[in-house]
Structure 1
Amino acid sequence: MKRALALSFVLITAAACNRADAPPSRFGFGRAATPAEIQTLDIDVGPDGVGLPAGQGTAVSGAPVYAAKCATCHGSAGEGTPIAAALVGRIPNDSFNYATSTGGDRRKTVGSWWPHATTLYDYIRRAMPFDKPGTLTPDEIYAVTAFLLAKNEIVKDDFVIDVTSLPAVKMPSRDRFVADDREKSNRVR
């Protein structure tokens, strides 16, 4: 009886492992995404501005957008709240010494930390407002970007931010970042 049971188990197991029962290479549902569908998701912006859409904004036009869509979390002046980080605040005369900082005293705001202004646009475009990401128009994003750059004393209130001017904005920390080649990744400037 034991032999018959063992033989049955082996035969059933062998039958279950039959290669003919391999899953199909295609399941017969879904379709390939169209170029238009892919383009709606291809919204990243590089440090050089590649990927920026048409549009423009100033700090003046960005103030009401910030007040309506950003201040609830980040504070009315970008000072931060218990639920969201500070966006405004630079070290006086931009003299913060990143090389000697222990880390705890690094205040990472738009004005003191971000290396590229285009990264600010990219992040706002993809992730903000937190409760409704992707709902801001390109002009609103340019305006909020200009507002934050002006609040951090990087551009003037009437400076027009657009596809050409945004990549040209020199952030205070740009030269403090180094390429991480993984050979000496603890380098700082």
Structure 2
Amino acid sequence: MSRFPKLLASTLALVLTVSAPVAAGKLGLGTPATPEEVTGWDIDIRPDGEGLPVGKGTVAEGEVIFTEQCAVCHGDFGEGAGRWPVLAGGGETLASHNPVKTIGSYWPYLSTVYDYIYRAMPYGNAQSLSPDETYAIVAYLLYLNDVVTDEEFELSNENFTTVRLPNEDGFIDDERPDTKVAEGGAPCMSDCKAEVKITKRARIIDVTPEDDGDTAGVNVD
């Protein structure tokens, strides 16, 4: 009988040891990133031009590269192949029921175009384009969207920030609060509105065919 208290005490000590939180500390895994490795990841481009690599490319050069590297998905003129994204056109469609969001109609900053192409394209072979090739492709996309009209236009890190996309002013800061604050400063978490109404739709897709006399396939708002 005298061994049971000792066994109980040993079991309790073991449970406390296992359940105790592990102190934070180095695990001895991996190695510190070298400056070269950090530079390889630090390739984002900002709207003010920060991060742009030195380089240049013309519209004419971009057309050749785009045809070889991009047209299989996006079409020769950015019209989109199959279900791949459309890159050009769409002007004056954002207020319609079927907005076409392209570089020319929707995107706010040219830096987004360069950054995405340089970082993620072409599909399946990302980051295979040189800075000069990327500048040329972006110049060609500007031409397809009538942002520039000269086939000899050359885009470079020096004139990049002078180019403005048509919808830049279409993006504004949303100053609305994340939650409706009731009197007294407490967020309203329930029963904030007596009724919720849909006032606008970004896009209406009527894909179900209608059959006279059969309301099963009719879209009801």
- After TM superposition, the score normalised by the length of structure 1 is 0.81
Identity over the aligned pairs, expressed in percent? Answer: 38
Q: How does 1:8-87 map to 2 (within 5 A)?
A: 10-17=12-19, 22=22, 25-87=25-87
Distance in structure 2 (CA, Å) of the matches to 1:51 and 1:180: 27
CA contact (8 A) 2:90 2:99 kept: no
Q: Which runs of 4+ in 1 moved over 6 A?
A: none
| Counterparts of 1:59 and 1:178, CA distance in 2 | 31
Residue matched to 2:159: 165
The amino acid of 2:18's aligned partner reads A
The separation in 2 between residues aligned to 1:79 and 1:14, in whole angstroms, is: 66
When the two chains are superposed, the root-mean-square deviation of aligned CA atoms in Å is 2.5
Q: CA deviation at 1:68?
A: 0.8
Mean CA deviation greater in 121-130 or 75-84: 75-84
Q: 1:15 to 1:109 in 2, by over 3 A?
A: closer
Report the CA distance shift for 1:180/1:43 in structure 2 as closer, same or farther (over 3 A).
farther
Decide which structure has greater helix share: 1
1:53-82 Cα shifts (integer Å, max 9, x gaps): 011011100011101110111112211123
Q: Structure 2 residue aligned with 1:128, among 121, 127, 135?
A: 121
**Counterpart residue number, 1:88:** 88
Deviation at 1:48, TM superposition (A): 1.1
Q: d(CA) in 1 for partners of 2:140 and 2:112? A: 15
Q: Quick one: distance in 2 between partners of 1:65 and 1:107?
A: 25
Residue 107 of structure 2, aligned match among 111, 114, 130: 114
| Aligned length, in residue pairs | 174
**CA–CA distance in structure 2, aligned partners of residues 45 and 18 of structure 1:** 46
Give the greater-gyration-radius structure (CA).
2
AA aligned opposite 2:147 = I
Cα distance change of structure 1 residues 16 and 163 upon mapping to structure 2, 3 Å threshold: same
Greater relative contact order structure (CA < 8 Å, 6+ sep): 1
Aligned counterpart, 1:150 = 143
Q: 1:90·1:152 contact (CA, 8 Å) conserved in 2?
A: no
Q: 1:148 offset after TM fit, Å?
A: 0.5
